[in-house]
Amino acid sequence: MISYLINGFGNLVLSGSILALFIGVFLGIIIGALPGLTATMGIALLIPFTYGMDPAFALSLMVGIFAGGIYGGSISAILLRTPGTPAAGATVLDGYPLAQKGQAGKALAVSTIASALGGLIGALILTFLAPQIAKIAVLFGPPEYVLLGVYGLSMISYVAGKSMSKGIFMGLLGILISTIGIDPISGFPRFTFGQLNLLSGLSLLPVLIGLFAAAQAFEGVEKYNEIQSPQAKITKIGISGKEFLRILPHIVKSAFIGTFVGAVPGTGTDIAAFLSYGEAKRSAKNGNEFGTGVIEGVAAPESGNNACVNGAMIPMFTLGIPGEAATAVMLGGLMLLGLQPGPLLFRDNPQVIYTVFASTITSNLLILVLGLFGARFFAKVLQLPAKLITTLIFVLAIIGSYAMRNNTFDVSVTIIAGFIGFILTKADYPVPPLLLGLILGPLVEANLGRTVIISEGNYSIFFTRPLCWLFWALILYTIISNISKSRKASKQPSQEAHNGGKA
């Protein structure tokens, strides 16, 4: 295998695919950073051009766009509170506050390093363990998906903010909104009130852009006459060795979470990011400071989502099943190139496969170089006058939600979500749980429906499968450790405050 991989690296350089990879990562970062343009869309736009290209060259281009796009989303999330892709939804939570503290350079560096390192770990797992992971991933049946979704929803307790009940309310509201549209099992249209636009439900991206970006711009209008503290000039892009050691465990753990979530078909980078964020908040010593701009809160989701990019390719290459939306498009591209994904691909085209594996590994180095080099330029955005930034966010939010489906309805959704987000956040109704509900609701419901069918209505199926037990344990552990943590916090409020003051 190692010799194949070395050949792959050789081929990557000699065939010029590395150039394709570089262009891919570069374009991906730009596409990812612009709200409304996702990595999936980038690959889809590209496919017509790849027809007739050398397969390794074309696949390197796609890998580059995918990895670059998922990383790029964090740039606008950190600088403008506008997640460029849904995968960056969790990065906003600590990235934006960190930038507002005048540490945009540090936030960008953390996100770059975490994305590259998380992606690298994911790529190594993809290269060396793909067949083994795929075997576990195919054990996932509907009951396991339901419990994976419930596990994800238990993360609401970590992103709820000040009031747990309001967090749960928002999460349930998100799930309820996700039931609008065609029922996944019976195909019956629900709560559409005769509106054709509602048949496919409310899309995630317009809601996401509204809740974060548009809401932020409304706040900009509200505070237009407040004197802005001049942004500290960004001189330093990077982190200290001590800070690196602080985020390293979270990067590694999130990389494993992300790769696994990616390997399970039907889940995606957004879920990977939120799970990584929740787990980091649960396990970090400074968990109660999450949301105020801590580097761990930027590192975890960014490592998780870029690892997920590689994880998603595991079932795609080994089984021919896409692990994520972008890989579904890539799968189409793969077939257009005359490659049949699945176990035979490894036997018939090892050269192409291992060149692609070499690409996934190299793409992370390119992210590191381009990200750290570009951070200085990206961060210049913050030196624009605040009022200009506000208008820019408004226009990008509208164009971004429009670009998804060329649909005015999505634009209205963005504006309304923005206004609601603006008001509700003021009253401690947190926005992230709503997002989690919206992302995970359909996963839970569709698979609950399938579970009921395969078990013929017997719910004991949730307790008879070994993987289900694993999830039950995870869910219980998450909830119990959260309860005990909040008890501890309420028992020693003075000490916590004291410690917080020190930090």
Q: Does 499 bind another protein (CB under 8 A)?
A: no
DSSP single-letter state for residue 285: T
Taking CB under 8 A as the criterion, the residue among 204, 252, 369, 392 binding another protein is: 392
Contact 119, 435 (CB under 8 A): no
Provide the 3-class DSSP secondary structure of residue 85. Answer: coil
Q: Is 99 exposed, middle or buried (0-12, 13-18, 19+ CB in 10 A)?
A: buried
Q: Does 471 bind another protein (CB under 8 A)?
A: no
Q: Does 406 bind another protein (CB under 8 A)?
A: yes
Taking CB under 8 A as the criterion, the residue among 5, 124, 138, 168 binding another protein is: 168
Taking CB under 8 A as the criterion, the residue among 9, 26, 419, 472 binding another protein is: 419
Kindly tell me which of 248 and 475 has the beta carbon lying closer to another protein.
475
- Give the per-residue contact string, 449-468, with another protein (x = CB under 8 A; - = no): x--xx--xx-----------
Provide the 3-class DSSP secondary structure of residue 189. Answer: strand
Q: Does 183 bind another protein (CB under 8 A)?
A: yes
Helix axes 142-154 and 269-283, enclosed angle (nearest 10): 50
Rounded Cα–Cα distance for residues 210 and 274 (Å):
18
Rounded Cα–Cα distance for residues 503 and 88 (Å):
27
Kindly tell me which of 280 and 420 has the beta carbon lying closer to another protein.
420
Which residues does 248 contact at the CB level (< 8 Å), separation at least 6? none
Q: Which stretch binds another protein (CB under 8 A): 88-96, 222-230, 257-265, 473-481?
A: 222-230
Q: Which stretch binds another protein (CB under 8 A): 28-36, 120-128, 232-240, 274-282?
A: 28-36
Q: Does 141 bind another protein (CB under 8 A)?
A: no
User: b/e for 442-474, b at 16 or more Cβ within 10 A?
Assistant: bbbbbbbebbbeebeeeeebbeeeeebeebeeb
Minimum separation from the CB atom of position 223 to another protein (A): 7
Q: Which stretch binds another protein (CB under 8 A): 240-248, 447-455, 476-484, 490-498?
A: 447-455
User: b/e for 167-194, b at 16 or more Cβ within 10 A?
Assistant: bbbbbbbbbebbebbeeeeeeebeeeee
Q: Which stretch binds another protein (CB under 8 A): 331-339, 415-423, 466-474, 491-499?
A: 415-423
Kindly tell me which of 141 and 350 has the beta carbon lying closer to another protein.
141
Rounded Cα–Cα distance for residues 99 and 81 (Å):
10
Nearest Cα to 322, choosing from 123, 60, 137, 72? 137
Q: Does 426 bind another protein (CB under 8 A)?
A: yes
Kindly tell me which of 284 and 417 has the beta carbon lying closer to another protein.
417
Provide the 3-class DSSP secondary structure of residue 395. Answer: helix
Q: Which stretch binds another protein (CB under 8 A): 143-151, 283-291, 418-426, 471-479?
A: 418-426
Q: Does 169 bind another protein (CB under 8 A)?
A: yes
Q: Does 415 bind another protein (CB under 8 A)?
A: yes
Contact 438, 432 (CB under 8 A): no
For 310-369, the three-class secondary structure string (H helix, E strand, C coil) is: HHHHHHHHHHCCCCCHHHHHHHHHHHHCCCCCCHHHHHHCHHHHHHHHHHHHHHHHHHHH
Kindly tell me which of 286 and 455 has the beta carbon lying closer to another protein.
455
- State which amino acid sits at residue 129: L
Q: Which stretch binds another protein (CB under 8 A): 127-135, 137-145, 165-173, 368-376?
A: 165-173
Minimum separation from the CB atom of position 140 to another protein (A): 19
Q: Which 33-62 positions form the footprint of another protein (CB under 8 A)? A: 34, 37, 45
Q: Does 448 bind another protein (CB under 8 A)?
A: yes
Q: Does 354 bind another protein (CB under 8 A)?
A: no
- Give the per-residue contact string, 186-215, with another protein (x = CB under 8 A; - = no): x-x-xx----------------------x-
Taking CB under 8 A as the criterion, the residue among 51, 195, 428, 473 binding another protein is: 428
Rounded Cα–Cα distance for residues 295 and 372 (Å):
16
Nearest Cα to 475, choosing from 167, 171, 149? 149
Alpha-carbon dihedral sign for residues 185, 190, 194, 198: negative
Provide the 3-class DSSP secondary structure of residue 286. Answer: coil
Taking CB under 8 A as the criterion, the residue among 12, 18, 31, 321 binding another protein is: 31
Q: Does 427 bind another protein (CB under 8 A)?
A: yes
**Which residues in this chain contact another protein in the complex, by CB under 8 A?**
27, 30-31, 34, 37, 45, 165-166, 168-169, 172-173, 175-176, 179, 183, 185-186, 188, 190-191, 214, 217-218, 221-225, 385, 387-388, 390-392, 394-396, 398-399, 402-403, 406, 408, 411-412, 414-415, 418-419, 422-423, 426-429, 441, 445, 448-449, 452-453, 456-457
